[in-house]
Amino acid sequence: MSYEVIYELPFLDLAAGFMKDDSSGVTALFDTVDQLADDPRPGTSFIRGEYARLRAGRYRVKYQIDEEAKTVKVQDLARLP
């Protein structure tokens, strides 16, 4: 069963800021995060408390999985140097 990926505003704001100087990286980031709909716990992610973290290229994404609602809430984004 597929999950719904929900992009929260703080994540989108950060992604928009990074898009200015790394559009191809941000496009690849969204491609990777969209795949969480089919597999919210890929081998490249890890769970820390109630959050999951995923590394996608030079970006790190924080998200929550809700099994009951079948949603993945993408909440935060950081870019590694």
**10, 20, 28, 3: which is closest to 74 by C-alpha?**
10
* pLDDT over 70, % of the chain: 100
Q: Which amino acid is at 58?
A: R
Give tens-digit pLDDT for 26-41.
999 999 999 999 999 9
Give the residue-averaged pLDDT of 49-62. Answer: 96
User: Is the pTM value of this prediction over 0.75?
Assistant: yes
**pLDDT at residue 7 in the model:** 98
**pLDDT at residue 1 in the model:** 73
**pLDDT at residue 76 in the model:** 97
The CATH number corresponding to 4-79 among 3.90.1640.30, 3.40.640.10, 3.30.2310.20, 3.40.50.360 equals: 3.30.2310.20
**pLDDT at residue 81 in the model:** 86
